[in-house]
Structure 1
Amino acid sequence: MGSRRPSALDGPMTGVGSRRPSLASRRPSIDPTKLVPMDKVSHVSGTDDFNVVFVGAGNIMFGSDEGPWNHSFRFEHKLGPRLKVVALIDPAVDRATAVLAKKCETFVRSAYENTRVFRNLEEFIKNLSKKDTPRAFVIGTPPMFRGTMQSGRDVELQIMKHFPGVALFVEKPISTGPVGEIEEAFKVAKTIRESGTLCSVGYMLRYLKAVQMMKQIIDENNLTVMATIARYACAYEAIAKPDWWNKSKSAGPIIEQGTHFCDLSRYFGGEVDMATVVAHSLEWDENAGHLSKMQIDETAIAPEDRIPRVTSATWKYESGAVGNFIHVIALQGHDYSCELEVYADGYQLKLVNPYVQPVLHVRKPGNDHEEIHRFPDDDPFFSEISVWIDNIEDIEEDPETSQILSSYEDACKTYALTWAIREASELSRHKKFAKPSA
């Protein structure tokens, strides 16, 4: 038998393919009543500056019209006048300079008026002054430039080498390299863990009050999750970024976008038996895959790199529970349609519209009618940043409010699952179109 390339379906290399029993719902959680809206939080007390380095000057760091992400905004509210962004690292110097100029026209000028722009980490290190020594790095670069052991794509390792003990916040997914590089991501995770580096990964939906209420219901009733069912339907008309439509650049919609719901599924279901992942896709060249309102010219993308319109996957968790996820590129307009259902004996927990106005439907034993809980003022982006900073500051007034819910290693396991789904869908497509052997 000939050799083959490493596969996300292999499982054992990451430790997630074994059949050990697991406590599916026993993951870090926070009392939902402790997650306080941003406008109700006082700045972290203190007179010393809190030096931060932003790596990346794009939308995730400074916001856009496409969504609620904007890390700088949350840092400003959490740290107040203590915030000092000592450096902004981005090869697009003009863009970085422009966003800083806008910040300096506002009431948060003191955080940015002395920020220096650098093209790369090496340039920052060479020009670092003692007073600008950072307490934290926020990594919001495109994922293809991080999450590996390779020079130029190993920003986490370089930061730990030159700034040991400095905290990291890393955006998701942790990488979008070829599937054969997944093992490297786990090596990065091992280095982070063994160094004791405080690290949080941006799976912000774990910090939703609704999600934490779901965890609370499961834990307080000692429930075992039986099934997770997730659906992510995006409004493709609003996606005008050509790279998103190109698998060779974005790694495809499951890895780049559906990762949040694969992560939430794991958060409730536990570890996945990777050998059980099965998936099917509707591709761009099938009749039902035609889209009428795309904002990009897909003919400029090589046929083999065009993304599927629908991906549907199922798997088994190590606990025996079943997982299901469907990602759909079908809606027009602006709003997405996303839901996650979790089932346990006597219980149905259904999370609706988590990105904008989360609503939780709860059906319990003894009553066929659902309780409905709404969370109009929730901001999981702020909660994840707030928890991370509280850990850096070693605030221990209430340890239950300060649990980082997504470690780098945990994020690697979500990344492996998304690659397993993509590989399984491509395998089923190849089988469908394979010619019979002579």
Structure 2
Amino acid sequence: MIRDTVSAKRPTDSRGSSAVPTSIDPAKFQRMDQPTAVCGTGDFNVVFIGAGNVMFGSDEGPWNHSLRFEQKLGTRLKVVAVIDPAIERAEIVLKAKCGSSVAPAYQNSRIFESLDEYIKNKSEVDQPRAFVIGSPPMFRGSVHPGRDVELQILKHFPGVAVFCEKPIATGPKDEITELFAVAKQVKDSGVVFSVGYMLRYLKAVQMMKRILEENNVTVMCTVARYACAYESIAKPEWWDKSLSNGPIIEQGTHFCDLSRYFGGEVDISTVAANSLEWNETAGHLSKLRIDESKIAPENRISRVTSANWKYESGAVGSLTHTVALQGVNYSCELEVFADGYQLKLVNPYVEPILYVRRPGDDFDETHQFEGDDPFFTEVSNWIDIVEDIEHDPKAPLILSSFTDACKTYEFTWAIREASERSLQNRKKSSAVDKTTS
């Protein structure tokens, strides 16, 4: 089933995507611990691209797409293939699944080293209904062979739905134009394509959108703060910006995306930023779990990035990302200001709390959202669209399209570049001071 993910009635920009996606009524969200409520019938064949943490879970966070698919689809789920060059890792996770209560979903799964190998050896009886892309971002979002997984799926599996993790890519900055070319092909195909900016699917976030829309107020300012617990990040590639592109692009992308979701399109020319680097006095970290000495000095990540910008509407935005906390839990907040309103989202990854101050009241309302799982909601929403369950023509569709995700990616690159320019200017200024002293 092919279906355009952007309503023709919605305003579009020059790149063809919805300017600001509409909200979803939080009352429609199905809890993950509720019985399966999909109206579709028959097997739902899925191909998992990637057998790592985001697909099968780890102790580093709540990421585990396989778990959400199992809960949503129940006995209908059939994982026909797992594609990962790390064959042994794929074998381990499949063995664990086949020894559990969800074994029927995996008992006939086949392992392939690459998408090309799968294409050459796929069986017609195992035709996929959907692909889930959870491979590292450096292997997607490109027109170049080996990194063009989206284009290969469009070519060999026309009409098959795709769910892809964020960020949409981590290639060189000069490939952003090519990335938008991929986005155009995705949009023109009409395929149901969703990108994993799961925070958009939080009940708290949708409540914030509803408050702004129902009261017809325009956002004046967004203030985002993202502090990660670096002690729990044990992947060496995360600490190497030649591989991950750095924490703003790889991790802070979630809050850059939420900022855009509320503030609208960013005027990229206004982005300014400063950073604290690893070799500055304040940048020392005492509980690293990786050996940073194995990473070239020029590729070590910033400890703090502080950015500000203007939205095309005239509103202003800011983001501070820090690699500073120890332990496990992150500390994250997003504030949105409009005429008479302050909406403050706290702790969105674990137990979201929303504080709302309204016109005529100096005190905050407090809203809590027990049991909310945006990972499940984004998967559930996407599957319902694939199954064409929702027949209301005014119903919201995908909250994060491929094109929209490309704009967030472009924005994160602008912040990284702005901080690097600022760093170079400080070095030049310091060199001049030493010369003249």
TM-score tier after normalising by the smaller chain length: over 0.9
Secondary structure (helix, strand or coil) at the match of 2:212 reads: helix
Instruction: Please tell me whether residue 168 in structure 1 is matched to residue 177 in structure 2.
Output: no
Aligned 8 A contact 1:23 1:319 in 2: no
Question: Aligned residue for 2:224?
Answer: 230
Q: Distance in 2 between matches of 1:127 and 1:241?
A: 32
Question: Aligned residue for 1:413?
Answer: 407
Equivalences for 1:31-430 in 2 at 5 Å? 31-397=25-391, 403-430=397-424
Instruction: Please tell me whether residue 433 in structure 1 is matched to residue 427 in structure 2.
Output: yes
Structure 1 residue 122 displacement after superposition: 1.1
Aligned 8 A contact 2:40 2:389 in 1: no
Aligned 8 A contact 2:352 2:369 in 1: yes
- Distance 1:320-1:295 versus aligned 2 partners, 3 A rule: same
Matched to 1:296, the amino acid is I
Structure 1 consecutive aligned stretches of length 4 or more whose deviation exceeds 4 Å: 397-402
Secondary structure (helix, strand or coil) at the match of 1:387 reads: helix
Aligned 8 A contact 2:51 2:83 in 1: yes
Q: Distance in 1 between matches of 2:33 and 2:18?
A: 36
Q: Distance in 1 between matches of 2:373 and 2:405?
A: 21
Secondary structure (helix, strand or coil) at the match of 2:111 reads: strand
Aligned 8 A contact 1:31 1:400 in 2: no
Query: Which structure 1 segments of 5+ residues have no match?
Result: 1-13, 17-21
Structure 1 residue 36 displacement after superposition: 2.1
Structure 1 residue 260 displacement after superposition: 0.2
Matched to 2:302, the amino acid is P
Aligned 8 A contact 2:23 2:396 in 1: no
Matched to 1:236, the amino acid is Y
Q: C-alpha root-mean-square deviation of aligned residues, in Å?
A: 1.7
Question: Aligned residue for 1:19?
Answer: none
Query: Which structure 2 segments of 5+ residues have no match?
Result: 1-12
Structure 1 residue 53 displacement after superposition: 0.4
Deviation by residue 1:259-306 (Cα, 9 ceiling, x = unmatched): 000000000000000000000000111111111111111111111001
TM-score by length of 1: 0.93
Matched to 2:55, the amino acid is M
- Distance 1:54-1:221 versus aligned 2 partners, 3 A rule: same
Secondary structure (helix, strand or coil) at the match of 1:38 reads: coil
Matched to 2:217, the amino acid is L
Matched to 2:234, the amino acid is A
Q: Percent identity?
A: 68
TM-score by length of 2: 0.93
Structure 1 residue 326 displacement after superposition: 0.4
Deviation by residue 1:200-233 (Cα, 9 ceiling, x = unmatched): 0000000000000000000000010000000000
Deviation by residue 1:69-93 (Cα, 9 ceiling, x = unmatched): 1111111111111110000000001
Q: Distance in 2 between matches of 1:281 and 1:333?
A: 23
Q: Distance in 1 between matches of 2:360 and 2:40?
A: 51
Aligned 8 A contact 2:142 2:182 in 1: yes
Secondary structure (helix, strand or coil) at the match of 1:103 reads: helix
Structure 1 residue 397 displacement after superposition: 4.9
Q: Distance in 2 between matches of 1:220 and 1:72?
A: 36
Aligned 8 A contact 1:346 1:364 in 2: yes
